Amino acid sequence: MAEKKVWDPFVRIFHWSLLALMAANAFVLDDESKLHRWVGYTVAGLVVARIIWGFAGSRYARFSSFPPSARGVVEQLADIASGRKHIHIGHTPLGALMIYNLLASILVVCASGYLMTTDMFWGAEWPEELHEAAVAWVEISVVAHVAAVLFESVRTKVNLPRAMITGYKNIP
């Protein structure tokens, strides 16, 4: 096995911090509390920092290393269907789509949450409905993301959760 450095410290800290903060806001903190809002602001700041890092960060953190690609998605699905194992050092094409989905969806959660606190939208139902729908979509996406990571870890024999902890992928 070859050990390959993939995820820099910023990406790993971002990933696990985002997970902890989103989980706290979804399952622990009172939706009406100031702490819920401040955690939301922190999440928004993290996502903005990750977007900046997507242009200025290390090789595998850059969006240019995992552009959205219909062709790549079709090829990855064909690999899965046929049992072929194509090891990706950075994000897979399906993983890339999930990253873009999660970043955009979390920004919608943050923006709609913020709108609910403004005088202009105070009492309006649509920001709250959008917020709740976006939170539900993020939760569904996270479950799909975890399932896909576990599936791909077994299928390719590359321990992806370990790589997000250590920063290194062991490539067979």
Residues 29-70: pLDDT tens digits? 999 999 999 999 999 999 999 999 999 999 999 999 999 999
Class of domain 2-171: mainly alpha
- CA angle 27/29/30 to nearest 5° reads 110
Residues 54-63: pLDDT tens digits? 999 999 999 9
Residues 101-153: pLDDT tens digits? 999 999 999 999 999 999 999 889 999 999 999 999 999 999 999 999 999 99
Residues 12-28: pLDDT tens digits? 999 999 999 999 999 99
pTM attached to this predicted model: 0.94
Amino acid found at 133: A
Is residue 4 helix, strand or coil? strand
Angstrom distance (rounded) from CA 172 to CA 162: 15
pLDDT at 29: 96
pLDDT at 122: 85
Residues 72-98: pLDDT tens digits? 999 999 999 999 999 999 999 999 999
